[in-house]
Amino acid sequence: MEQVTIIKERRIPTSGEVYVDVGETVTPDTLIAKGMVPSQEIHELRLYRNLNIDPETVKDHITKHEGDSVEKDEVVAIARSFFGRQTRMARSPIDGVVTDFSEKTGRMMIKGHPVPVEVYAHIPGIVQELYDDEGARIETQGYLHHGLFGVGGETHGELALAVESGDTPLTSSEIKQEHNGKILVGGSVATLDALREAVKQGVKGIIVGGIDQKDLTYFLGYEIGVGVTGGEDIGLTLILTEGFGINPIDNDLYEFFMKHAGGLACIDGTTHIRSRSLRPEIIFPTLSL
Amino acid sequence: MSSEKRGKFLLVDITHNDTKAILIEENKITGKSKSPTTVDEPTLDVTRGVQDAIRQIETAKNIKITTKNGVKQSVKLLCSSSASGGLHMIITGVIGNISGESAQRAALGAGALLIDTFSKDDKRPPYKKIAAMRQSKPDILLMSGGTDGGASSQVLEMAEIIKRSDIKPRYGTEYNLPLIYAGNISIQDQVDGVLGENGYALKMVENVRPLINRENLGPARESIYDAYMEHVIIHSPGYTKLAEWTDERIVPSQAMVGKMLFEYAQQQGVNLLAVDVGGDTTDVYSVYNGVFNRSLNAGIGLTYGIGNIVKEAGIDNVLRWLPSSFEERDVRNIIGNMMIKPHEKITSEERRIQAAIAREAIKLGVNGHKAIAQRLKGVVTERTLSDMFEQALEPTLLNMMKTQLVVGKGDAFKNQTIEDSTMILLDSLQPEGVTELYLDPENMAAPLGNLVDHDRLTALDLYGDSLEFIGTCIAPRGELKTEKDALRIDFEDADVSHVFKYGELTVVPMKSTEIGEAQIVPYRLDVGAGRGKTIKRNIRAGKLGLIVDTRGRPMTRYRQTVRLLPFEALGRES
């Protein structure tokens, strides 16, 4: 495997703040940019129903007004009857802001708080260019190997070998507490139990020759479908180097992993299988910072 | 064959793997060749593959067609291309199933592969649209929205999203993404103000939906062809040189397939349904009552799109077409590997799985097609009581009972025998009534479709000749108890009749193509004229003969053995 220049474009999908400058050295955990995107959660409360009163009279009973922040389950309107002996209340279903209240219809709109989006460097390197309010381009030197298929997004950690050879299956008994936070190299196949144990032990990623497609389906909880992955929230990133089923890792590749055991590995399971293919990445940075 | 003598044409169709050249002289194919496509490394020059293909014809015929700068002037060169995965487009609209759908029809009709569609009413918030647009990297963006003089603010909001997205074209950042605006014409200036100088090669054309009850797809489609030629194709290696060899536009292959099928259906006076299952897409083309439609299920295919079929159809629906000796775990792994590492040569096990998958791909493709091949949405239609009884306002134009001609093409049939191909078509499409089944084994629709505008009659004759006629399928609609008499066919010319039982699939091999007039008498089933009503048809036999499928519609038998019944064995039973 040859050493290459690796370039990463790190951008957020909205305007925000960029925290790095051109020429700056970054580590995988360096925050590059952060912004806020509007929440998708919008709730309309028909307060007159909750309070069991006429819509026109709701205005006399609201406790929160347009622009007010509310917390989940916080009372936004209250009505008392029978000389205060019976109380009816309406509560906010989410944390958010009251965006609208109609005196005529007695309806209140509550929108969730904006959601932060941020992007980290993912690889150690040097900032080459800034994208106004959105991020930066980072360059590094290192080794890059593309797997065949992966699930889970970007992560990084120390590379560790979990099995003795590329044709040994990775079972749950090989996963130890000491593997917490590491990227593990398995062998010919990872069993379903091994994946579940790895999540339990806090393993950040697994690089393995193969996996039974059915086990992967069970692990994910759904069928993969079209070969577009990377956004799975499964507790780790999994990269297959050879394919589905029992497939020993190529000898040369396994030897390469052996050489780099103990070093930093930055991996990304994102896979787009189509003519514009994007295959999972295993990066071993060599740039000395 | 038409007798009029016409010019010389050299048709070239460039697909991802092969470059095909066809020489036509005096209305006949006089030379045909195939050479590997040379767009990718190490050659990186499409003209090398084209020259290789032409040279094969030159050598075989001992003639000279090529010159230093292309081909001789006496030969008209017509090129179509689907190399590099075809024409990748994204479309935007205001209302997804009104302007969005019209834009979709324009793009699909122009042979595009839709990567994504965006509309103001889709569920994604703007920031997610921006992220998805940035990731999409299309060849062309088609923007629609609003009728003429209608919606404007939503169209401009979408323009703002496109501007923010800073969408880069597929082939690099050194040129601007072609953006065709085919929306509300009264706000063209405002759209230009937002997008004109913001990294897009903007072109204004007439609205694809000028009125709510009218579609105008032609100008957008033409503009897509122009943009494909001017901005997209020239970024593929060697295409600039190829473009200099021909006076005509290099057009997307899928658009020419549509053109050929439309013309063929018109000439034959039939309703036609064609299915094409490729690696990562399933195309369905239909012509019903003179209306052409193409739909494309991106991500539904035999290699890259195979996993999606399992997801959409369910593994059990795939397994039902396979012998019980196939274990689910093995089938899943084989399917997974066909998705992530497609290979040319496949094992017999993979071939059987591919046939099972193809059935489900076609079913999904046809279901998707039903949504495209229908009346315009958003139009208020008056329904009378009689309309409701006559079902005059069917939700889709697609109707298997009214389909006289079915064509199967693409990778799904490439590795299969004619018998297996027939089963794929029968099981997936479940033709009803009397239907002629064909295969397009050489994929001639694309190059000959390119000939239509220059020599329509020759294109039609040659396309008809290139199709492989499997046979006529007679299949009644409805259900009966197994082994009950389903229908009787009286072959009037041969003075022979035969009763076919319900629940069978029978192939009647024939010695000649012409069977002549047959009277089809269904028992409590429907073959086109209504339940239990007799029809008379002139029936032709194909390569397999005549196919009688009495497995019922909808079909519930999946591993049915085929009964062979020689025509000579038919007895007089009526």
Go through the domains of chain A in sequence order and give each one's CATH number: 42-112 (2.40.50), 147-285 (3.50.30)
Residue B1 confidence class, pLDDT cut points 50, 70, 90: very low
pLDDT in tens, B352-390: 999 999 999 999 999 888 877 776 666 555 555 544 444
Query: What's the confidence (pLDDT) of residue B148?
Result: 92
Lowest mean pLDDT across A136-150, B192-206, B230-244? B230-244
Query: What's the confidence (pLDDT) of residue B392?
Result: 43
Residue of A nearest to B312 (CA): A225
pLDDT in tens, A54-79: 999 999 999 999 999 999 999 999 99
A42 touching B, CB under 8 A?
no
The pair of structure tokens assigned to B480 is 């009966």
A117 touching B, CB under 8 A?
yes
**Which residues numbered 302-331 in B keep a CB inside 8 Å of some CB on A?**
304-305, 307-308, 310-312, 315, 328-329
Residue B214 confidence class, pLDDT cut points 50, 70, 90: confident
pLDDT in tens, B73-125: 889 999 999 877 778 899 999 988 788 888 988 888 887 888 889 998 888 88
pLDDT in tens, B12-64: 999 878 899 999 998 999 999 999 988 877 778 889 999 999 999 999 999 99
ipTM: 0.81
Residue B338 has pLDDT above 80, yes or no: yes
Q: In this structure, are residues B510 and B541 in contact, taking their beta carbons and an 8 Å threshold?
A: yes
Q: Which residues in chain A have their CB less than 8 angstroms from residue B311's CB? A: 222-226
CA distances from A10 to A33, A120, B187, B544 (A): 8, 7, 35, 59
Lowest mean pLDDT across A212-216, A280-284, B109-113, B362-366? B109-113
Identity at B461, one-letter amino acid code: D
Query: What's the confidence (pLDDT) of residue B573?
Result: 46
Go through the domains of chain B in sequence order and give each one's CATH number: 8-83 (3.30.420.40), 86-235 (3.40.50.280), 255-421 (3.30.420), 467-574 (no CATH)
Residue of A nearest to B130 (CA): A13
Element (H, E) at A211: strand A205-211
What integer is the mean pLDDT of A16-32? Answer: 96
Q: Which residues in chain B have their CB less than 8 angstroms from residue A111's CB? A: none
Q: In this structure, are residues B114 and B139 in contact, taking their beta carbons and an 8 Å threshold?
A: no
Alpha-carbon span B41 to B26, nearest angstrom = 38
Residue B259 has pLDDT above 90, yes or no: yes
Nearest 5 degrees, angle CA A24-CA A25-CA A28? 130
Query: What's the confidence (pLDDT) of residue B90?
Result: 93
Residue of B nearest to A210 (CA): B333
pLDDT in tens, B123-176: 888 888 888 888 888 999 999 999 999 989 899 999 999 988 888 888 777 788
- Computed from CA positions of residues B111, B115, B121, B123, in that sequence, does the dihedral angle turn out positive or negative? positive
